[in-house]
Structure 1
Amino acid sequence: MRTNMQTSLRTKRTNTRTRRRWTAPAGVYSVVAFLAAGALGAAQPATGIPTEVVQLTQFGPALGVAVAALLWPSRTRGLLRDGPAPGASPRLLLATPLLIIALSAIPYALLTGTPHATDPLSLRHPFLLIVVAQLVGACGEEIGWRCFLQPLLRTRFGLLTASATVGVVWGLWHVQVLAEAPAYAAGFLLATVAMSVVLGLALEEVAGLRRLLLAGAFHALVNLGMLLFMDEETGRPAPMVLFGLACAVAAVPWIRRSRRRQAVTIPATAG
């Protein structure tokens, strides 16, 4: 009896230490990412940087990672370091945003009877500048979501659970969206969860700079596609709902692909 009690106590202490290993960094990162994004968003008008070019809120997650690196330097380095595995084909991953935009923009144009295409030359700022700034801003987000929080949660949860959880936190981080109509907010949250699942599955075996660049490029392509072919910033629910559904549809082949790979790997490992 005494031995069983001692074993139970040791197990509880081990479980508590394991939970703290991921809950504390995840909690600190999330709080800093939320607060820093709010502060940067409030400061942007004073900087004169146009939101069409880049939104400073995107660097909130990067600041969250910086704080985590100060508190848990070795742990953070371990999550961010390079790895040898090549992961999914970059072409397949980077084609997915194009599919998402097509599945969003075409039905929206048919629904409204108007193509919502914007000529890049008609934008108020050079399109090349916007592209570069969007990539930099997307990497400012993705170093937090896909390069820090995703691998951190993977130390405790399965791949789909970790990816979906990151998607929920990522969606709620866009707090301004929650002030819109319920259908708009629901469409946006569906989109962030679905895109997070795609990125989680595609980048499971990718680490370091390659992971950051692929996630950032995916994110930037989605943002640029929305800028050029959708008008969700008007607050109308239809484009955001269509966008969310398009992301969900685009995630299905990635989920099926992951399950096929697991089905092949498990018998091979067992044999």
Structure 2
Amino acid sequence: MHPSFRTPAWFYFVLAFGMAWIAWFFSLLGSRGILPLSPVAQLICLFVGSFGPFVGAFVAAYRDGGWPAVREFAGRSLRYRMGLIYFLAAMLLVPVAAGLSMAWLASHGGPPFAFAMPLSHLPLLYVELLLIGGSINEEFGWAYAIDRLQQRYNLLWAAVLLGVIWGCWHIPLFFIVGLTQSFMPFWAFLIFTVALRIAIVWGYASNRQSILIALLFHTASNVCFNLYTIVDRSPRHDERGFIGTALIMLAVSLLIALTARCYRAQSSIMTMETGAK
């Protein structure tokens, strides 16, 4: 069951994109020497902009139902009861996909397979990325967005559409000098965001709209970019590591889309409704 929405969906997306893109525009200009911004100021703009989805979701939730709606929405991040398969997928799916891609790359002319950081640093890194690395900044917003998109589309198509929206939300980052996205092919990034969003929505919808599981998926994904050298920043600029990760995630997401109960149930409902008309 979804709450009643009084706020137009476009209002949320304007806030989520507007706050991010305006702040990131200053970072973009600073990174290219057009605007005299220090690296610290550029980092602050990047950080502030990343909260666009978070701010948009809570403003929209308040407009929908006041503080009770805000409390209910925020409380979904504490829904820790989840099936073991979903927890393991949230923690391991992207790291395993990235590891397989890097192992393949090592056997096809890439660098030897190795971790890019000591494994003892992983727990602290995970906590840092969860709190300030993009997960909290974004996943509350994308949870609100998937609820809204389900008003017009079945769950799978809503997940695919949100994956595209999520990828496009990052577009300014591809033009900021030195950022990870600036070393990625956008088409592969879009495949990755669609595939990962299908997995995240599967976990979210199968566990009582738990935002916590979305946070775990997102954080594990971000960990991979520190655990492996998926994105090659060297002059060689070998993109195969990230492309391989995106394609493996795409294959996994197709399997989830075809077999997950939440997606099959929604498709069946839509088929029945169409046949009844």
The TM-score with structure 2 as length reference comes to: 0.69
Q: Could you tell me how far apart the structure 1 residues matched to 2:220 and 2:127 are?
A: 11
The 5-angstrom pairing of residues 113-124 of structure 1 reads: 113-115=110-112, 117-121=114-118
Deviation string for 1:207-242 (max 9, x for gaps)? Answer: 46xx22211111111111122212426265323322
Instruction: Give the aligned residue type for 1:110.
Output: S
Alignment coverage as a number of residue pairs: 240
Other-structure match for 1:155:
151
1:115–1:219: structure 2 CA closer, same or farther, 3 Å change rule? farther
1:201-216 alignment runs, 5 A limit: 201-207=202-208, 211-216=210-215
**More deviation, 229-238/62-71:** 229-238
How far did residue 55 of structure 1 move? Answer: 4.8
Residue 28 of structure 1: aligned partner? 11
Separation (CA, whole Å) in 1 of partners of 2:262 and 2:149: 23
Deviation at 1:175, TM superposition (A): 0.8
Q: Could you tell me which of 168, 172, 176 is aligned with 1:172?
A: 168
Residue 213 of structure 2 is aligned to residue 247 of structure 1:
no
* Structure 1, unpaired ranges of 5+: 1-20
Please, what is the CA RMSD of the aligned residues? 4.0
Cα pair 1:97 1:222 within 8 Å, conserved: yes
AA of the residue aligned to 2:65: P
Give the one of 101, 105, 108 matched to 1:108.
105
Residue 187 of structure 1: CA displacement?
A: 0.4
1:79-228, aligned counterparts within 5 Å? 82=76, 86=82, 89-115=86-112, 117-121=114-118, 128-136=123-131, 137=133, 138-145=135-142, 147-176=143-172, 179=175, 184-207=185-208, 211-228=210-227
Query: Aligned-pair distance for 1:32?
Result: 1.6
Residues 34-113 of structure 1 mapped to structure 2, 5 A cutoff: 34-41=17-24, 42=27, 45-46=39-40, 55-74=47-66, 82=76, 86=82, 89-113=86-110
Q: Which amino acid aligns with 1:167?
A: G
Q: Contact conserved, 2:156 with 2:263, CA < 8 A, in 1? A: no
Deviation of 1:261 after TM superposition, in Å, equals 8.1
Higher alpha-carbon deviation: 248-257 or 75-84: 75-84
Q: Aligned in 2, Cα 1:241/1:72: closer, same or farther, shift over 3 Å?
A: same
Partner Cα separation in structure 2 for residue 92 and residue 184 of structure 1: 26
AA at the equivalent of 2:136? C
Aligned to 1:229: 228
Encode CA deviations 1:128-172: one digit per residue, 9 max, x unaligned.
543212112312211111x21112211221011110011000000
Aligned-partner SS, 1:131: helix
Q: TM-score, normalised by structure 1?
A: 0.71
Residues in 2 aligned to 1:84 and 1:119: alpha-carbon distance in whole angstroms: 31
Q: CA deviation at 1:116?
A: 5.8
Q: What is the alpha-carbon distance in structure 1 between the residues aligned to residue 186 and residue 222 of structure 2?
A: 17
**8 Å contact kept, 1:168–1:189:** yes
Q: Which moved more, 1:147-156 or 1:170-179?
A: 170-179
Q: How far apart are residue 188 of structure 1 and its match?
A: 0.4
Taking a change above 3 Å as real, the CA distance of residues 86 and 173 of structure 1, as seen in their structure-2 partners, is same
Contact 1:81/1:207, CA 8 A, preserved across alignment? no
Q: Percent identity?
A: 24
